[in-house]
């Protein structure tokens, strides 16, 4: 299996490399084999990327937004047309099954690029009337923005960050996760093919130090990171020390609350989506599943029966529903948490093992895992595991569910399943989380803001809110009479 790109980085409309850079091996998580060898960016590469972005951005910002949008929409069309080819690449990069990547990864990036290409021309400042004098506001681009991606949704993350940035007249230098460097290069080629001027979307590879070099670069106006809370704190501090704009999409330990009156099959389907999709490597996952006493037994019975049917295996087989975790370190982390759960007294209700799959012995597989008998204090109920490990907890009434759901340092997401709609809205209003669902889970359409409260981050991706985060407001007061001066 090979997926070697033409070179490691994409700068000023072409592939470039610097073999002085630290070696970066791309590993197919299903087998553990090396599928590409790249180099992390050297200082020289970082400078080239920032400088070409800076040079290209000035002209780009002057282009009519309708024309910028047209280029983005063309890129979206190319992405849609190449969906299966890029989904295949994303599967090699991440190990996620093609059953998922063909519907969720390039398609989500394309949808967001299409959305921003469409709305940007209608996103303008305001006119403010002072009864004669007036004022208006301008939404101006920030300049060079840096995007830093996580490994669970590589092309989606690159699309979610670059589309609003470019639509608003900025340039973006993007550093994918060192674990998943490939698909963002494909996106860069598509932007060029769609007519995006050279330098506006540059991709540089590397580890955390390259991310820090980009985020701390004096020519950079904004940094948008998707990653863990500890990384978010470092990057936000760095950005803050230089008064840069920042968006942080970080981790979570989100609650999913299932009331007695919920449709049990929908609730089970929601809980499985909230824990097992992408082998549980989703920031917004609802890993604390609170189930009301009256529905608890029936829910657990159906959850177990449906979880038993999950097909684990070859990610390139269209029937496979669950692939491996991203790498060995993540595998050790997740199996470690399963041991912690057992040691802390939770009941391992289902899974917890490492499946033995012929031909995939070197892969980082783990069974979908369900713990019952979990208490709120246990580490598996408090810390982000980032694997397919669901904790099922029971509760008696609404007030208890709300209090326990909110008892976390995180605040990315939450879900409620109930047929009682006044209760659904009442409960969601009390939950301290940014991205919430009623009777579904984990949908992230382009039109809806996405982001967290508390430790889960600052700023929002998608929707018009993202255009605000990739622009700055200029207020212009206009006098139509004489200057009334006391001097
Ligand atoms: P991570 O924090 O280890 O790395 C994220 C990115 O930051 C990588 O590209 C990494 O190279 C870079 N990085 C690391 N140290 C850096 C530094 N000091 N300065 C600048 N960049 C640095 O996260 P990960 O393991 O790749 O991803 C998993 C985490 O991401 C989980 O916590 C998950 O919840 C979170 N996540 C959040 C969202 C969201 O939208 N809220 C989406 C996906 C993943």
> Is 171:199 a contact under the CB 8 Å cutoff?
yes
Residue of 22, 178, 231, 462 to mutate, ligand 1, most atoms within 8 A of C-beta? 231
What's the pLDDT score for residue 453?
A: 98
Q: How far is CA 459 from CA 222, 223, 272, 414, 434, in A?
A: 12, 11, 28, 18, 10
Residue 66 confidence (pLDDT): 98
**pLDDT of res. 1:** 81
Say how far apart CA 485 and CA 487 lie, in whole Å: 5
In this prediction, the residues of the chain whose per-residue pLDDT falls under 70 are none
Query: How high is the pLDDT of residue 183?
Result: 98
Q: Which atom of ligand 1 is nearest the CA belonging to 234?
A: 18
pLDDT at 316: 98
486: left (phi over 0), alpha (psi -120 to 50) or beta: alpha
pLDDT tens digits for range 114-167: 999 999 999 999 999 999 999 999 999 999 999 999 999 999 999 999 999 999
Predicted pLDDT of residue 445: 98
Identify the CA nearest to 360 among candidates 31, 32, 35, 97: 31
Q: Looking at the chain, how many residues does it have?
A: 487
**245 vs 148, 222, 240, 466, CA distance in Å?**
14, 4, 8, 12
Residue 422's alpha-carbon distances to 268, 363, 416, 438, 443, in angstroms, are 22, 46, 12, 11, 22
Mutate to test the pocket of ligand 1, among 226, 383, 442, 466 (most ligand atoms within 8 A of CB): 226
pTM over 0.95: yes
The pLDDT of residue 143: 98
User: Which of 228, 177, 226 has its CA nearest to residue 204?
Assistant: 177
Distance CA 370, CA 274 (A): 12
| pLDDT tens digits, one per residue of 394-440 | 999 999 999 999 999 999 999 999 999 999 999 999 999 999 999 99
Q: Compute the distance from residue 248 Cα to the ligand 1 centre, in Å.
A: 10
Characterise 241 by phi-psi region: left (phi > 0), alpha (psi -120 to 50), beta (else).
Answer: alpha
Catalytic residue among 90, 100, 111, 461: 461
Concerning whether 161 is annotated as a catalytic residue, the answer is yes
Alpha helices in 195-259 (DSSP H): 208-215, 229-241
**Ligand 1: residues whose CB is within 6 Å?**
148-153, 175, 177-178, 207-208, 211-212, 215, 225-228, 231, 234-235, 249-252, 283, 384, 386, 412, 452, 457
Select from 437, 429, 438, 432 the least CA-distant residue to 452: 432
């Amino acid at each position: 299996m090979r997926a070697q790109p033409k070179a490691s980085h994409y700068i000023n409309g072409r592939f470039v490399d610097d073999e002085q850079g630290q070696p970066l091996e791309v590993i197919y998580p299903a087998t553990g084999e090396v599928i590409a060898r790249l180099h992390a960016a050297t200082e020289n590469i970082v400078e080239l990327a920032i400088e070409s972005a800076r040079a290209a951005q000035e002209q780009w910002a002057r282009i009519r937004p309708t024309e910028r949008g047209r280029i983005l929409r063309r890129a979206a069309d190319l992405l849609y047309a190449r969906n299966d080819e890029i989904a295949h690449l994303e599967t090699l990069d991440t190990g996620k099954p093609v059953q998922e990547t063909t519907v969720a990864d390039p398609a989500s990036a394309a949808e967001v690029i299409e959305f921003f290409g469409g709305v940007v021309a209608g996103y303008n400042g305001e006119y403010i009337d002072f009864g004669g004098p007036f004022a208006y506001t301008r939404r101006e681009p920030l300049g060079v923005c840096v995007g830093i991606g996580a490994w669970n949704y590589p092309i989606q993350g690159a699309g979610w960050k670059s589309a609003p940035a470019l639509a608003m007249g900025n340039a973006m230098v993007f550093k994918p996760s060192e674990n998943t460097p490939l698909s963002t290069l494909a996106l860069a080629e598509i932007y060029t093919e769609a007519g995006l001027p050279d330098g506006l979307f540059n991709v540089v590879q590397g580890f955390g130090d390259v991310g820090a070099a980009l985020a701390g670069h004096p020519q950079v106006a904004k940094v948008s990171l998707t990653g863990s809370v500890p990384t978010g704190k470092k990057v936000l501090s760095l950005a803050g020390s230089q008064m840069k704009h920042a968006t942080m999409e970080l981790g979570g330990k989100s609650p999913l609350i299932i009331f007695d009156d919920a449709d049990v099959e929908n609730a089970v389907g929601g809980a499985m989506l909230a824990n097992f999709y992408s082998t549980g490597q989703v920031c917004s996952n609802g890993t604390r599943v609170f189930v009301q006493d009256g529905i608890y037994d029936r829910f657990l019975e159906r959850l177990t029966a449906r979880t038993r049917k999950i097909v684990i295996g070859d990610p390139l087989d269209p029937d496979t529903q669950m692939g491996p975790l991203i790498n060995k370190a993540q595998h050790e982390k997740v199996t470690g948490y399963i041991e912690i759960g057992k040691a802390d007294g939770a009941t391992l209700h289902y899974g917890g093992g490492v499946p033995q799959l012929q031909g995939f012995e070197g892969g980082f597989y783990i069974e979908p895992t369900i713990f019952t008998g979990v208490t709120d204090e246990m580490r598996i109920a408090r810390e982000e595991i980032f694997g397919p490990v669901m904790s099922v907890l029971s509760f008696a009434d609404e007030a208890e569910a709300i209090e326990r759901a909110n008892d976390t340092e995180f605040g990315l997401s939450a879900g409620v399943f109930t047929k009682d709609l006044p209760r659904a809205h009442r409960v969601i209003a009390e939950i301290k989380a940014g991205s919430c669902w009623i009777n579904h889970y984990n949908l992230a359409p382009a039109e809806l803001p996405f982001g967290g409260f508390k430790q889960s981050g600052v700023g929002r991706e998608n929707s018009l809110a993202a255009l605000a985060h990739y622009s700055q407001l200029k207020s212009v007061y206009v006098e139509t009479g004489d200057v009334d001066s006391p001097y």
